[in-house]
Structure 1
Amino acid sequence: MRIVRHRSDQGPRLAVLDDEDVLIDLPAGLDLPTLLADDGRLADTADTSLRTAARGPALDEADLMAPLDPPTVRDFSTFPEHTAGIARNLDSNAVVPEEFWEIPAFYFSNPYATVGPHDDVPVPPGCERFDFELEVAAVVGRAGSDLTVAEAAEHIAGFVVFNDFSARDVQFHEMRLRLGPAKGKDTATSLGTMFVTADELRDRASGTSYDLTMRVLVNDEEIGTDTVDNMAWSFPALAAYASRGTSIRPGDLLGSGTCRNGCLAELWGRYGQDFRPPLRPGDVVTTEVELLGGTRNRIVPGTPPHEIRPGA
């Protein structure tokens, strides 16, 4: 099934999409992590609404929000060509590090930075090299700790398109301290139009994940394309690693990391810093992933940074 969240006269409302891409509202007051936490509740609630509730607006007419507010966001790195391209920003001879094949590394991103698929995105304070990152995120549906990869597969409820906007100059500056990224990733993460349950993708299973085409465009010009199954690590592997020594819980997001040619910084590392300009106010970034929907966000001016000094 496909679940969306939209702005209604009664406030934010979850809805299930029917076969004609029309929204059918679920009962008021529900959120996706709560429904996922109780096995079978999301399917039962959606099925009841499809049978009994009135038809709402069409998908392309609804005022969409992010499908969920994730309690945590872990963003991994699973596409080797992207990893190599990013590394070449600092070393023109860089290759994929050996550690890439040893652990599915991730950083924690900011759940408060979640924005909707069509919301405006401000340039972060002090940023001159603003970027996008085309990804897919798995949504955890069941809590678990210290999971094996096989066990973790049962803890993934579905997927959503994930665009991790990035302040590259801020990011590379702060990471010289061997920490982060932090403020480089702190302003906006756009989630796609819909949450799609894992069973909807079963027929497209391929390799580590799914044979789904991914595309990103700026001002309707295609910048990069890839397929989700070029991930070197599977989503269950990401969930298992995330649960090691701790727990994952319903609604947690596990980002795939950026696909090949899915961001400007990778292209800058491969072809030079002037290959394509960074994002500027007025630019529109569009992402598309087969069966999962996408995002379309306009870049707007941000606020200037306040001065902060040691000892202040």
Structure 2
Amino acid sequence: MKLATLKDGSRDGQLVVVSRDLKTAHFATNIASTLQTALDDWTFYSPQLQDLYEALNAGRARHPFPFAPKDCMAPLPRAYQWADGSAYVNHVELVRRARGAEMPPEFWTDPLMYQGGSDDFIGAQDDIVCPNEAWGIDFEAEVAVITGDVRLGATPEQAADAIRLVMLANDVSLRNLIPAELGKGFGFFQSKPATAFSPVAITPDELGEAWRERKVHRPMIVHWNSKKVGAPECGTDMVFDFGQLIAHICKTRNVRAGSIVGSGTISNVDRSKGYACIAEQRMIETIEGGKPVTAFMKFGDAVRIEMFDAQGQSIFGAIDQAVSQR
């Protein structure tokens, strides 16, 4: 099924069920008013939401209305946890090559992960707000999952069983703030503003054969100022699957329902697939030519991130954002 959260003036919005073709929606008020409510007792609520979803797709829902992504908050507007991995080690390797650093061998066996701000996510068509262009504004197209409860010490297989929903993410980075922050030895903070998510979050079964090996096997289509700059394959070169990423968090603590885990920037070894963040293009330029050529985003720039099924239908709806100074 497909779920979204509509803006209603509150912090957590209103949960709706969205049709498979993303054309209509139906309020889920009589079942669960927010997505977090549904996640807290998924076994009880999800069959009811599924029934409504099937009725909506069959034209039997009582009060459908047109679905408008611009009216959406993030599917989970605030979460108990946002943990973002770097599952595409090719991306990490390019970063280190561009600055002449060796690649530690453990990066291939132990995931990199940071914990981002989860109290203020933004909707798929909300602006990327940044006071200063000089901070190096960059998009990062990712896949993310929302979990149920996962116990401490869970195996990757057990962790994968707790994946409730899948969505797309734009994990914006302010690249020129990162070096000073990492230089302090304490990780990202100011360099990671609010993350945006796709209008719709979906259950993994909606992906059909594209969901296997605990990965999404579809291209991530990225347009920057209407120019297609990337179509990397999400299932290719993903060294750590979502089960492994969730299990990494669970090594020392429980993970609670409503946690979001990201894949990190989609990155393929095959450079003909383009890029899912500007930094990767700049790293390749540095490796090949000695310095970066492509500039970061400017005020008024726009990025569109979307994924399509084999029939050309948008799966999650598009993240479609402009950069604003306000």
Per the normalisation by structure 1, the TM-score is 0.88
Shift of 1:127: 4.2
CA distance in 2, matches of 1:9, 1:34: 18
Aligned equivalent of 2:199: 193
**Counterpart residue identity of residue 277, structure 1:** A
1:36 aligns with one of 30, 35, 39? 39
Aligned length: 298
Q: Residue 89 of structure 1 contacts residue 265 of structure 1 at CA under 8 Å; is this kept in 2?
A: no
CA contact (8 A) 1:160 1:191 kept: yes
Aligned residue number for residue 229 of structure 1: 235
Output the amino acid matched with 2:283.
G
How far is the alpha carbon of 1:153 from its aligned partner?
1.3
Q: 1:288 aligns with which of 292, 302, 306?
A: 306
Shift of 1:214: 0.5
Asked whether the equivalents of residues 94 and 280 of structure 2 are also in contact (C-alpha less than 8 Å), the reply is yes
Secondary structure, counterpart of 1:46 in structure 2: helix
* Cα distance in structure 2, aligned partners of 1:297 and 1:203: 30
Deviations 1:22-80 (A, max 9, x none): 111101772212211213233233245454541012345x5111101221100101112
Alignment of structure 1 residues 1-312 onto 2, 5 Å? 1-8=1-8, 12-21=13-22, 22-27=24-29, 30-50=33-53, 51=55, 53-59=62-68, 63-68=71-76, 69-91=78-100, 94=101, 96-124=103-131, 127-185=134-192, 187-207=193-213, 209-230=215-236, 231-260=238-267, 261-272=275-286, 274-290=292-308, 291-302=315-326
Letter in 2 for 1:181: F
Q: What is the rounded CA distance, in whole Å, between the counterparts of 2:9 and 2:175 in structure 1?
A: 39
Does 141-150 or 112-121 show the bigger shift? 141-150
- Determine if contact 1:268/1:276 at 8 Å carries over to the other structure: yes
Q: Deviations 1:166-221 (Å, cap 9, x if unpaired)?
A: 01010112111222112111x22111111111222242134551211102211111
Contact kept in structure 2, 1:74 and 1:253, CA below 8 Å: yes
1:305 alignment counterpart: none
Structural RMSD (CA): 2.2
Amino acid at match of 1:226: P
The alignment partner of 2:99 has SS state of coil
Indicate the larger mover: 158-167 or 122-131: 122-131
- 1:27 maps to amino acid: T
Question: Structure 2 CA distance, aligned partners of 1:220 and 1:131?
Answer: 16
The amino acid across from 2:248 in the alignment is Y
Give the corresponding residue for 1:307: none
Contact 1:5–1:65 (CA under 8 A) maintained in structure 2: yes
> Could you list the runs of 5+ residues in structure 2 that have no partner in the other structure?
56-60, 268-274, 309-314
Is the Cα contact below 8 Å between 2:204 and 2:211 reproduced in 1? no
Measured against aligned partners, the alpha-carbon deviations of 1:95-143 in whole angstroms (never above 9, x if no partner) come to 6431211211200001124110000111155843111111011111234
Equivalent residue letter for 2:302: V
Question: For residues 23 and 9 of structure 1, what CA distance do their matches in structure 2 show?
Answer: 19
Q: Identical aligned pairs, as a percentage?
A: 25
Counterpart contact for 1:268–1:275, Cα < 8 Å: yes
Distance 1:70 1:267 in 2: 31
Normalised by the size of structure 2, how large is the TM-score? 0.84
